[in-house]
């Protein structure tokens, strides 16, 4: 090979190399997962573990080679649980960051505020909000992870019935999730032979619930309190409940309180309260043959190892499920085409997550059943599985 | 050049050009959305500037008026199927009346009593919007139907950019005319010395009330437009912090300068969006910018820069 030919060959090789690199680069553009979470503010019990879980699993998946050969990138904004900010951030995620999917929305309120945006932009949106209204009626592009408030109320009413309690008081906030739960509690009461004798409301930023609790205390015949809420107000409620010495009335909270922060924040006030929650919180107490045991234990181990032994919460679990369902759908769709990914999310069948076993369908965009809900009681500042 | 800057029409022409040409630089809907928010905040500030800069009164309740306008549009169109423009007008008249009823007795007094009264009013409005859940949807807000012009549904960020921009230009034009009219001169006299103004035969109370009502109506209009543009409204809009934000925009831009109000609103709306890239340091950076401006430019951005520019151009400082 003379010098000239050699140079020509080298030039061709170099050119090929450049093209090859460009191609590799194209494959390397990361898959963007957008999220808006209540990392600060009254709903930070929810958003904080959710953000940590998302970061943790994006890293884990990236270390294992990513999805479809592409790395993942999380874009997380702190909405502080405020619907107004959520709207701004979701617009930003869609238009500016051009994310491929949105997994987020710690609360029902912020979720409902951005549903029209996701529908309009035709982007798959997996919400971590609790209320039924998110998926009922079914919205084409919107899915949700946690059990619904209706299921929580059903589980609570079943437990009340079992213990012969028929007179309930409802106590909850004025936010979207609380309102939705309150409505379900009223609608379902007759079906379980329960009468609602009191109904009290607080604002999400209230710092004292003594007034509402005193009113319930003074209502004759209340046998149980159904608490509709999440975040800081629930811990305050529990503290006031103990201060007022109301332990003779059984307190049930819905699944909005599934974190150790609630128990700690209540300062002992949560003792004896019953809560329907996902199996994740009682992973170590599950039967060995429980299909969720492995998932729950693996998540707990990974989360605690990454974050200084911090206890897990059901909220982080919602994010785990949402994230996993999203990337499984992308794998099956063979890419990030939004319509295909949406279809694949809808086809999720038998996915074992931290919240339960998901079986989605065109008419069910949540996919959980009542039996994956566990009734737990708070004893000695931790969760005790009842059944 | 100096004459050009001073001229009412000159400034308005520059603003018109900016509004008209800005879309060329806006890459996507998100930026349009920020632009719309900027224009509507500027609309509130142009009104508020009349009150703060010319009548020398402070209102800590303008977010309340803004939210009332927004909720009037939201509730009347969503729950009672009203025409959007009728709802907007009712909001403006209602807010104007409310402002009049509150201000009339208070502005007879000298001093900053209006600040206290509007502070209270703003908080009451915020509480009502948060608690009247069946009507307002509570703290999580409510969605708002699209504004309709005949059969035409006004949706999409581009349309709303032009609506907001057009409204702002008209508002600026109105404000400039008001300042240059007898009312404006009376107000400036009043700002200088209330006693002197009264001695000169100016009914100070009447003018203060008038300007307060006008600024409240501007806020209400901005709120209505905001509700339809965003298609969603929450009681956060009525919050005390939002009122403070509006006052800060006016002070930052420069009191008694209509364009200053526009500049202040622009900076305080756009800056937080730019700073989200800095994430954890956002609030620190934001605070530092404000402190810096107040230390080095106590008159506000626009008047200070205008003075410097004139100085450089060889004119005498104002």
The answer to whether the peptide bond before residue A137 is cis (omega within 30 degrees of 0) is yes
The overall longest dimension of chain B from CA atoms, in Å, is 63
Candidates B229, B246, B277; CA nearest to B33 is B229
Which chain B residues are closer than 8 Å to A110 by Cβ?
140
Mean pLDDT calculated for residue range A347-354: 90
Structure tokens given for B28: 């996507």
Which part of chain A has CATH 3.40.50.2300?
28-147+292-369, 149-285+373-385
Read off the pLDDT of residues A281-304 as tens digits, 9 standing for 90 and up.
888 888 888 888 889 989 999 999
The CA distance from A349 to the nearest CA of chain B, in Å, is 33
* Best to test chain A binding among B33, B34, B66, B140 (most A CBs inside 10 Å): B140
pLDDT at A178: 86
Picking from B130, B140, B276, the nearest residue to A83 by CB comes out as B140
End-to-end, the C-alpha distance of chain B in Å comes to 16
Give the C-alpha separation, A88 to A97, whole Å.
12
* Best to test chain B binding among A51, A75, A78, A95 (most B CBs inside 10 Å): A95
Q: A20 pLDDT exceeds 70?
A: no
Q: Lowest-pLDDT range, A210-214, A373-377, B292-296?
A: B292-296
Give the C-alpha separation, B268 to B45, whole Å.
11
Q: Are A353 and A317 in contact (CB under 8 A)?
A: yes
In this prediction the ipTM stands at: 0.73
Mean pLDDT calculated for residue range A133-157: 90
pLDDT at B254: 86
| B30–A94 C-beta distance less than 8 A | yes
Q: Are A132 and A105 in contact (CB under 8 A)?
A: no
pLDDT at B90: 96
Picking from B31, B140, B237, the nearest residue to A112 by CB comes out as B140
* Best to test chain B binding among A35, A38, A76, A88 (most B CBs inside 10 Å): A88
Candidates A144, A77, A80, A147; CA nearest to A112 is A144
pLDDT at B8: 64
Read off the pLDDT of residues A75-90 as tens digits, 9 standing for 90 and up.
999 988 888 889 889 9
Which chain A residues are closer than 8 Å to B130 by Cβ?
174, 203
pLDDT at B146: 86
Cα A272 to chain centroid distance, Å, stands at 24
pLDDT at B314: 66
- Ranges of residues in chain B with a pLDDT under 50 are 1, 4, 317-318
Give Cα separations from B233 to A32, B75, B143 (angstroms).
Answer: 29, 10, 6
pLDDT at B96: 96
Give the C-alpha separation, A178 to B302, whole Å.
47
Picking from A91, A95, A109, the nearest residue to B139 by CB comes out as A109
> Closest residue of B to A111, CA-based?
B140
Interface check for A96 against chain B (CB to CB < 8 A): the answer is yes
Highest mean pLDDT, choosing among A95-99, A191-195, B122-126, B187-191: B122-126
pLDDT at A2: 58
Interface check for A120 against chain B (CB to CB < 8 A): the answer is no
Mean pLDDT calculated for residue range A95-102: 90
pLDDT at A1: 47
Handedness of CA B165, B171, B176, B177 (dihedral sign): positive
The CA distance from B128 to the nearest CA of chain A, in Å, is 12
pLDDT at A5: 62
pLDDT at A23: 47
Picking from B130, B143, B236, the nearest residue to A174 by CB comes out as B130
> Closest residue of A to B139, CA-based?
A175
Paired strand residues for B66 = none
CA angle B44, B121, A109 (to 5 degrees): 75
| B30–A95 C-beta distance less than 8 A | yes
Give Cα separations from A36 to A82, A89, A121, A217, A318 (angstroms).
Answer: 10, 7, 16, 39, 14
The CA distance from A51 to the nearest CA of chain B, in Å, is 14
Residues of chain A numbered 257-276 and touching chain B (CB < 8 Å): none
The CA distance from B304 to the nearest CA of chain A, in Å, is 33
The CA distance from A113 to the nearest CA of chain B, in Å, is 7
Give the C-alpha separation, A346 to A366, whole Å.
9
- Under CATH, what is the fold of the domain A149-285+373-385? Rossmann fold (3.40.50)
According to the CATH classification, is domain A28-147+292-369 in 3.40.1440.60? no
Picking from B130, B140, B276, the nearest residue to A113 by CB comes out as B140
Q: Lowest-pLDDT range, A220-224, A337-341, B7-11?
A: B7-11
Between strands B142-143 and B232-233, the pairing is antiparallel
Taken in order of first residue, the domains within chain B and their CATH numbers are 2-312 (1.10.3470)
Picking from A95, A110, A179, the nearest residue to B29 by CB comes out as A95
Place of tokens 């909720």: B71
pLDDT at B1: 47
Handedness of CA A51, A54, A58, A61 (dihedral sign): positive
Residues of chain A numbered 179-198 and touching chain B (CB < 8 Å): 179
pLDDT at B77: 93
pLDDT at B317: 47
The CA distance from A89 to the nearest CA of chain B, in Å, is 9
Q: What are phi and psi of A278, to 5 degrees?
A: -75, 155
Chain A / chain B CB contacts < 8 angstroms: 63
């Amino acid at each position: 090979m003379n010098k000239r030919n050699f140079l020509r060959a080298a030039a061709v090789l170099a050119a090929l190399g450049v093209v090859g690199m460009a191609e590799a680069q194209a494959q390397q553009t990361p898959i963007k997962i957008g999220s808006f979470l209540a990392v600060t503010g009254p709903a930070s019990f929810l958003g904080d573990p959710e953000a940590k879980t998302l970061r943790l699993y994006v890293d884990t998946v990236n270390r294992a080679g990513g999805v479809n050969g592409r790395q993942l990138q999380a874009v997380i904004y702190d909405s502080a649980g405020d619907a107004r900010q959520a709207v701004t951030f979701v617009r930003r995620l869609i238009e500016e960051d051009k994310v491929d999917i949105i997994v987020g929305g710690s609360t029902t309120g912020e979720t409902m505020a951005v549903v029209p945006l996701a529908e309009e932009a035709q982007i798959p949106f997996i919400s971590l909000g609790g209320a039924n209204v998110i998926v009922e009626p079914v919205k084409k592009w919107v899915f949700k992870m946690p059990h619904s408030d209706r299921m929580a109320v059903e589980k609570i009413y079943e437990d009340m019935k079992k213990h012969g309690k028929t007179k309930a008081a409802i106590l909850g906030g004025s936010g979207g999730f609380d309102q939705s739960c309150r409505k379900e509690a009223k609608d379902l009461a007759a079906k379980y032979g329960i009468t609602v004798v009191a109904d009290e409301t607080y604002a999400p930023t209230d710092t004292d619930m003594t007034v509402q609790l005193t009113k319930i205390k003074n209502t004759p015949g209340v046998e149980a309190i159904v608490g509709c809420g999440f975040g800081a107000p629930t811990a305050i409620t529990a503290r006031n409940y103990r201060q007022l010495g109301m332990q003779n009335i059984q307190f049930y909270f819905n699944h909005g309180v599934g974190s150790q922060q609630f128990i700690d924040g209540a300062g002992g006030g949560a003792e004896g309260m019953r809560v329907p929650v996902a199996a994740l919180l009682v992973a170590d107490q599950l039967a060995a043959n429980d299909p969720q045991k492995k998932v729950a234990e693996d998540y707990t181990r990974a989360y605690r190892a990454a974050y200084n032994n911090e206890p897990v919460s059901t909220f982080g679990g919602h994010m785990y499920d949402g994230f996993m369902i999203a990337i499984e759908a992308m794998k099956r769709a063979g890419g990030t085409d939004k319509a295909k990914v949406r279809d694949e999310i809808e086809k999720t069948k038998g996915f074992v997550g931290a919240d339960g076993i998901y079986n989605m369908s065109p008419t069910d965009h949540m996919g959980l059943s009542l039996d994956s809900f566990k009734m737990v009681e708070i004893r000695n500042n931790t969760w005790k599985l009842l059944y | 050049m100096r004459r050009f800057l001073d001229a009412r029409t000159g400034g308005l022409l520059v603003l018109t050009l900016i509004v008209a040409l800005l879309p060329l630089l806006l890459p996507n809907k998100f930026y349009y959305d920020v632009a719309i928010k900027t224009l509507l905040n500027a609309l509130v500030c142009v009104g508020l500037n009349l009150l703060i800069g010319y009548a020398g009164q402070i209102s800590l309740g303008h977010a309340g008026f803004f939210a009332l306008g927004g909720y009037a549009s939201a509730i009347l169109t969503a729950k009672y199927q009203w025409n959007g423009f009728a709802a907007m007008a009712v909001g403006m008249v209602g807010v104007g009346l409310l402002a009049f009823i509150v201000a009339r007795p208070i502005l007879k007094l000298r001093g900053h009593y209006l600040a206290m009264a509007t502070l209270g009013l703003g908080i009451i409005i915020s509480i009502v919007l948060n608690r009247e859940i069946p009507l307002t949807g509570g703290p999580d807000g409510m969605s708002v139907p699209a504004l309709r012009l005949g059969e035409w549904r006004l949706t999409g960020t581009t349309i709303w950019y032009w609506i907001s921009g057009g409204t702002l230009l008209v508002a600026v034009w109105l404000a400039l005319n008001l300042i240059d009219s007898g009312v404006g001169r009376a107000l400036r006299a009043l700002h200088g010395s209330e006693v002197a103004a009264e001695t000169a035969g100016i009914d100070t109370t009447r003018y203060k009330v008038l300007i307060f009502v006008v600024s409240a109506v501007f806020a209400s209009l901005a709120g209505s437009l905001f509700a339809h543009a965003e298609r969603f409204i929450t009681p956060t809009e009525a919050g005390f912090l939002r009122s403070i934000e509006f006052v800060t925009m006016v002070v930052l831009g420069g009191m008694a300068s209509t364009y200053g109000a526009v500049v202040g609103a622009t900076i305080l709306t756009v800056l937080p969006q730019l700073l989200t890239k800095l994430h954890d340091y956002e609030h620190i950076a934001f605070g530092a910018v404000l402190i810096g401006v107040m230390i080095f430019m106590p008159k506000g951005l626009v008047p200070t820069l205008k003075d410097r520019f004139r100085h450089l151009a060889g004119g005498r400082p104002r």
